[in-house]
Chain A
Amino acid sequence: MSTHNVPETFSIPVGPLHVALEEPMYFKIDVKGETVSHIDINAGHAHRGIEYLTTKRTMYQNVVLTERICSLCSNSHPQTFAMAAEKIAGIEVPERGIYLRTVADEMKRVTSHLFNVALLVHLVGYETYFMHMMQVREIGQDMLESIFGNRQDIGAMCIGGVRYDLDDKSIAYIKGALDKIEAETKDIIKTFKTNGSILRRTKGVGVLTHADAITCGVVGPVARASGIDYDVRREAPYAAYDRLPLVVHSLTDGDVWSRAMVRLEEILTSIDLLRVCLRDLPGGPVNINDRPDIPPGQAVTRSEAPRGEVIYYLRTNDTPQPERVKWRVPTFMNWDSLRFMLQDAKVADVAMIVNSIDPCLSCTER
């Protein structure tokens, strides 16, 4: 073979601002022909020093601040932070508050998963179906806006419970919206299992093997699509998850399709959980109606955000400000696994594979 036939190697920058990426990520990709041979990840474009800022705010201000770390998992941050504060102070959240926390959590999961899978369809190039899926997600967004008054930062959590309540009218409205989303999601699942365009672009693409998934310590749907049967809601229950019929979905192929399918199945599970919560919603107060001082101490709490395990470490002292707040979001773990997924992938699939981990940069870099 003469040297003329050897494909040349090129370096392609993908990002930091790229049409197919939602947030500023920067990949330096070496390609041989059309195949990715090496990936370098350059992070930090959304670093804002929020961890530093949390130590300058009081515990109660931090509930507001942590909600603003990220928009798609905006409910998981204040919830996990509040759980840590409650653990240190020995606060017991009233039963109704526990159920309402679960309701807010699952509503956010439904819309977050729909958004991610819709974007996947967009990257596949199936634009009409992308618009249809965004329309379905809009039913969920309308639901959030109607119940919480906001589409993203829903402001539902507080230390000691939640800041919203449901009445018969709003429960009936949520149930109606869920019925619509459920029927549509079932259709979407059918489409994902049969549509040639989607299957051809996503099956066997961006594979993360079970062994690599364990090595990278990935979490959430990315882990479950690679056969790691782990969900914080079942493994380390919080809120009302210990008494709900939670089904954890896992697949074994570890490709883009599997990750999307895990998310779609989880939407249906979330809808089931929401229905049970709304049916069993106990009476009583939604929060402790008090703002006690949080005594010195430390706590580690975890929750299952739409993208996977969120972990918070909180240390308090005698001041109203925490001494240290540290958290790690699912993307922090999943991002690095892209090295495995992108290896030997086609350049045209890069954006799709990146999207398949449902990246959330603003909360990864803080």
Chain B
Amino acid sequence: MSRLPQDLEARLTAAAPAGIEYSADTDQYGVTVAWLGLASAADLSPVAALLKELGARLSMITCTQPSVPEEEEEDEDEENEDGEEKAEAAPKEMPKTFGGTPLDGTSYEIDYHFDIAGDALTIIAYVPQGGSIASLTPLFRNADWHEREMMELYAVKVTDHPDPRRLFLDASVDGAVLERLIPFSTLVNAASTKGLWERLTAAGKKGAA
């Protein structure tokens, strides 16, 4: 039923020598949603090139900082068993992704959502804090804005981006806004109104003097 190529998993494995984690399920409408974890973020470009060959369309890029998987607290929460597979691998030490990126709450998970003839495939790459990831813009022109947005919301570096300017945020705003706690009064206009008032008052005094 799936419109993904039959040998997709084999071809993806060949394109990503460091290893992959592949899963797919098809819903009652016959739409397949597949997930492809990459052990090494360096395999992103060859895998994306393969998808381009298959006629995939880049739909969205999500960057996120996965929280630290909760420690195994027995009898606490039964629902936890289904979701957090990553935590089960190494419960005592720092939990890691299957590719070895520490899951300490500061690493980045970057999800590249592709559409292949109606089916969805998400490539998941992990980048540790301070790390970088190759730009997909040379392959998929429409990765441009997604990557620029990712660079202003997080401190993640994108290498070889042809136009790494700010997208939505003004250059005067400090970067990595989603990695910081921003007080509500700053988020809304209250703080800027107060700031503006103080600046104007100070400027007025200076002008009078």
Tell me whether B142 and A336 are in contact (CB under 8 A).
Answer: yes
Complex Cα distance A49/B153, Å?
10
A281 contacts the other chain (CB 8 A): no
Contacts of B83 in A (CB 8 A): 295-297, 317
Contacts of B153 in A (CB 8 A): 51
Please state if B168 and A365 are interface contacts (CB–CB under 8 Å). yes
Beyond A52-B182, A215-B141, A315-B64, whether A44 also contacts B170 by CB under 8 A is yes
B69 to chain A, nearest CB (A): 9
CA of A117 to CA of B14, assembled, Å: 49
Given contacts A217-B142, A236-B31, A237-B31, contact A318 B113 (CB under 8 A): no
Q: Which of A28-36, A155-163, A258-266, A326-334 lies on the face that meets chain B?
A: A326-334
User: Is A238 part of the contact surface with B, judged by Cβ < 8 Å?
Assistant: yes
The reply to whether A217 and B113 form a contact with Cβ atoms under 8 Å apart is no
29 A-B pairs with CB atoms under 8 Å apart are: A51-B153, A51-B178, A52-B178, A52-B187, A87-B27, A215-B141, A216-B141, A217-B140, A236-B29, A237-B30, A293-B79, A296-B80, A300-B122, A302-B115, A309-B59, A309-B115, A311-B59, A311-B60, A311-B113, A313-B111, A313-B122, A317-B67, A318-B77, A323-B66, A327-B60, A328-B60, A328-B146, A336-B142, A336-B144
Closest 3 CB pairs of A and B: A235-B118, A296-B83, A44-B168
Interface positions of A (Cβ within 8 A of B):
43-44, 47, 49, 51-53, 87, 214-217, 230, 232, 234-238, 242, 293, 295-297, 299-300, 302, 309, 311, 313, 315, 317-318, 323-324, 326-328, 332-333, 336, 365
Interface residues of B (CB under 8 A from A): 27, 29-31, 33, 57-60, 62, 64, 66-67, 70, 77, 79-80, 82-84, 111, 113, 115, 117-120, 122, 140-142, 144-146, 153, 166-170, 177-178, 182, 187
Q: 18 other contacts beyond A302-B120, A328-B59, with CB at 8 A cut-off? A: A44-B170, A49-B177, A49-B182, A52-B177, A53-B187, A214-B57, A217-B142, A236-B115, A236-B120, A237-B31, A297-B82, A309-B115, A311-B60, A315-B64, A317-B83, A318-B80, A327-B60, A328-B60
